[in-house]
């Protein structure tokens, strides 16, 4: 494909962990990429150098705090200005930490909902005209704990449940031109928090496939929903090895 023919995806939270793997998988599949980070600029620059060595002039770096809602349309505008089209939006960026009942503050509510629910909605709204023009697609990264409580993570779970509802509502509002779906991961990476929500031993024991997932599992599902699932919209695909089923 020539540059003008290649599909273009905007991926938030793309500098590291699952987001970086999503970026690599989409790039290998032929997408040009606008890749967003908040603080992890060094990691994003290294990822972009890697992808540019494989296909020059195929990436754009974007840095912003997604809690600043006024900055969100500019991310979409910069992507379209660089590549002249937008085919996909992957709302991967997320904030995760515990909020035990009795300790929850309004600031925690605002922070978790801003990153996990508000930013994906307003990015989708800004991207909608361009995605309609290309008959594009949105994939939101939710969580299996949008559907069942994770102990001590009440506000996080509520924010991801809001994103799950947004997925359905956006699919209804943007059809038939734009498909909107979600991937709900189980445990695919060990948490970076000192206090773990789940131990690795519990994940393995209570997952039907008896193993932790890997970021490639999520990235493969994202690519399928964006590119191949042409009659799928408004759906949340659990990619959790059967963790949602319980012990």
Tokens of 163: 């994103």
Write down how long the chain is: 247
Tell me which H or E stretch contains 88.
strand 88-91
| CB hemisphere CA count around 10 (13 angstroms) | 32
Catalytic residue among 31, 130, 145, 156: 156
What single string gives the DSSP state of each residue in 149-204?
PPTTBHHHHHHHHHHHHHHHHHHHHHTTT-EEEEEEE-S-S--SSSS-SS-HHHHH
> Dihedrals φ, ψ of 183, to 5°?
-110, 130
The burial of 157, by beta-carbon neighbours within 10 Å (0-12 exposed, 13-18 middle, 19 or more buried), is given as buried
Known catalytic residue at 156: yes
The residue with tokens 């020059």 is: 56
Residues annotated as part of the active site: 156
């Amino acid at each position: 494909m020539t540059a003008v023919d290649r599909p273009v995806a905007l991926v938030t939270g793309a500098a590291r962990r699952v987001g970086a793997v999503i970026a690599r998988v989409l790039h290998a599949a032929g997408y040009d990429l606008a890749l967003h980070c908040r603080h992890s600029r060094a990691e994003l620059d290294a990822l972009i150098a890697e992808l540019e060595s494989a296909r020059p002039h195929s990436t754009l770096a974007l840095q912003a705090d997604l809690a600043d809602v006024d900055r969100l349309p500019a991310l979409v505008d910069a992507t379209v200005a660089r590549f002249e089209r937008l085919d996909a939006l992957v709302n991967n960026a997320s904030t995760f930490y515990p909020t035990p009942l009795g300790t929850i503050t309004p600031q925690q509510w605002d922070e978790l909902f801003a990153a996990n629910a508000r930013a994906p909605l307003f990015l989708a709204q800004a991207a909608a005209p361009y995605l309609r023009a290309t008959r594009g697609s949105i994939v939101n990264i939710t969580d299996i704990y949008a559907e069942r409580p994770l102990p001590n993570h009440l506000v996080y779970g509520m924010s991801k449940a809001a994103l799950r509802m947004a997925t359905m509502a956006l699919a209804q509002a943007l059809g038939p031109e734009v498909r909107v779906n979600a991937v709900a991961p189980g445990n695919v990476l060990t948490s970076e928090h000192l206090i773990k929500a789940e131990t690795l031993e519990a994940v393995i024991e209570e997952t039907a496939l008896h193993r932790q997932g890997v970021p490639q599992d999520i990235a493969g599902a994202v690519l399928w929903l964006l590119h191949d699932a042409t009659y799928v919209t408004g759906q949340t695909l659990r990619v959790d090895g059967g963790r949602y089923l319980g012990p």
